Structure 1
Amino acid sequence: MDMATVAAFLVVDLLLVFTPGADWAYAIAAGLRGRSVVPAVAGLVAGYAGYTLLAVAGLVVVVAGSPAALTALTVVGAGYLIWLGLGVLRQPVALATGTESVAVTTGAEPVAGSSWRIALKGAGISGLNPKALLLYFSLFPQFIDAGAGWPVAAQTGLLGALHMAACAVVYLAVGVLARTVLRTRPSTARAVTRVSGALMIAIGGFLLVERLAG
């Protein structure tokens, strides 16, 4: 695997990471709560770490070779994304003023509780994110060269590590910006979360139609 291949992967990967969706909505919600965004981002990255381990073990190739399994995973992920988007639209961000607490919702439940619960939900969001299915099942194989002299597992691990690093940097920035900028602009915060919710529904719907129609 040469540097040109790695650079090309990073370009495509960053385009996916920078596309708003469920991960963004969760990072924004964590930032708007006014506490550290690290547990939420750590959970999101942990979900992708699970995919990376599966990919290194070769299980992603097995799943990718099974149309029924891939369709089932895509439908579950897309359905979860639509459910989250509907929850965001039903209950957009609400910022209390004065000494009252801040209530921020994403999906059907508020982003609240211990750091472990926040991280666990983040892992669930990224673990069922259809973007992960696209990335690991469709994109990774295009950048792996079995004749490059590197073991396929090592190449897969490198791509997975680069993706996790990109997610950590981007989602931390999104969460911090949400905390420092959007908390002082309640109307903007609500608009951003509504757009995120609509995008989640649109992406989930597109994936469902594309997979089931295919």
Structure 2
Amino acid sequence: MESEIGAFVAVATVLTITPGLDTTLVLRAAASQGTRNAYATVFGISVGVLCWGLAAAVGASAILAASPTAYTVLCVAGAAYLIWLGIGMLRRARNRGRIAQTSGTARMGSTSAAESALRSWSRGFFSNLLNPRFGLFYMAMLPQFIPDDAPHFLMGLLLALIHNAIDVIWFSLLILGVRLMGHWLNKPVVQRGLDSIAGGVVIIFGVKLIIPVIFS
């Protein structure tokens, strides 16, 4: 079992550190909304990963592979969510130029901090949960690291939690790096640029998700 876990750690680490949608969301939250919201995004991502890990462990995600309709519906929902999310970021980039900036602009006001953290968590969670490609990848990858004599559900849970731990460690390093550049990132022009870039990247991921469905 140790060899299977070691191999999974290697694969999950490569998957985590490869730049993608999750990295974009965490960096954007850390730079524009502060450490609290960045970690809320990370924990949202972790719960999404855990859901897919458990689904793959019990074979539930096989429905996506067996049912073209279920896969298409999830693709459309995921693409719509990501495009909507990206448009919201682009709107915020535009609005930042109209709002007076303060030295604490990277953090939200105290009256909306909890709500903002919840929104950050939901972004991380739904960006993973509504991505069927991630589910299919997990379904194809996870069984390879579960020994035949091991309980599939518990082993799947263990591997998903290991993946979560890797995510938290890696994203913590990214968040620390953003904090070290906090003075520069607090500049209004940089904030607008970050929202614009993040919004564009998220929209691209949404479009990439829906194109195969349109042309299939």
Structures share fold, TM-score greater than 0.5: yes
Cα deviation, 1:54-79, whole Å, max 9, x if unaligned, reads 33343222343222111111211122
Give TM-score scaled by structure 2 length.
0.73
Alpha-carbon distance in structure 2 between the residues aligned to 1:188 and 1:14? 30
Which consecutive residues of structure 2, in runs of 5 or more, have no partner in the other structure? Answer: none
* Alpha-carbon shift at residue 81 of structure 1 (Å): 1.0
Greater share of helix: 2
* Alpha-carbon shift at residue 96 of structure 1 (Å): 2.3
Alpha-carbon distance in structure 2 between the residues aligned to 1:23 and 1:144? 26
* Alpha-carbon shift at residue 197 of structure 1 (Å): 1.9
> Which amino acid in the other structure matches residue 102 of structure 1?
T
Matched-pair contact (CA < 8 Å) for 2:31–2:191: no
Cα deviation, 1:10-47, whole Å, max 9, x if unaligned, reads 44434443323256325532453345343343233223
Q: Are 2:125 and 1:126 equivalent residues in the alignment? A: yes
Cα distance change of structure 1 residues 63 and 128 upon mapping to structure 2, 3 Å threshold: same
Identical pairs, percent: 22
Cα distance change of structure 1 residues 56 and 113 upon mapping to structure 2, 3 Å threshold: farther
Alpha-carbon distance in structure 1 between the residues aligned to 2:107 and 2:113? 15
Matched-pair contact (CA < 8 Å) for 1:84–1:197: yes
What's 2:67 paired with? 66
| Higher deviation after alignment, 58-67 or 29-38 | 29-38
Cα deviation, 1:175-199, whole Å, max 9, x if unaligned, reads 3333331442324444333222222
What's 1:33 paired with? 33
What's 1:51 paired with? 52
Matched-pair contact (CA < 8 Å) for 2:63–2:70: no
> Which amino acid in the other structure matches residue 32 of structure 2?
L
Alpha-carbon distance in structure 2 between the residues aligned to 1:178 and 1:84? 22
Cα distance change of structure 1 residues 208 and 104 upon mapping to structure 2, 3 Å threshold: farther
* Alpha-carbon shift at residue 205 of structure 1 (Å): 0.7
Alpha-carbon distance in structure 2 between the residues aligned to 1:75 and 1:153? 29
Alpha-carbon distance in structure 2 between the residues aligned to 1:55 and 1:10? 17
The partner residue of 1:202 within 195, 204, 209 is 204
Alpha-carbon distance in structure 1 between the residues aligned to 2:87 and 2:22? 11
The partner residue of 2:195 within 189, 193, 202 is 193
Aligned length: 206
Q: Are 2:76 and 1:75 equivalent residues in the alignment? A: yes
CA RMSD of aligned residues (A): 3.5
Which consecutive residues of structure 1, in runs of 5 or more, have no partner in the other structure? Answer: none
Alpha-carbon distance in structure 2 between the residues aligned to 1:44 and 1:142? 18
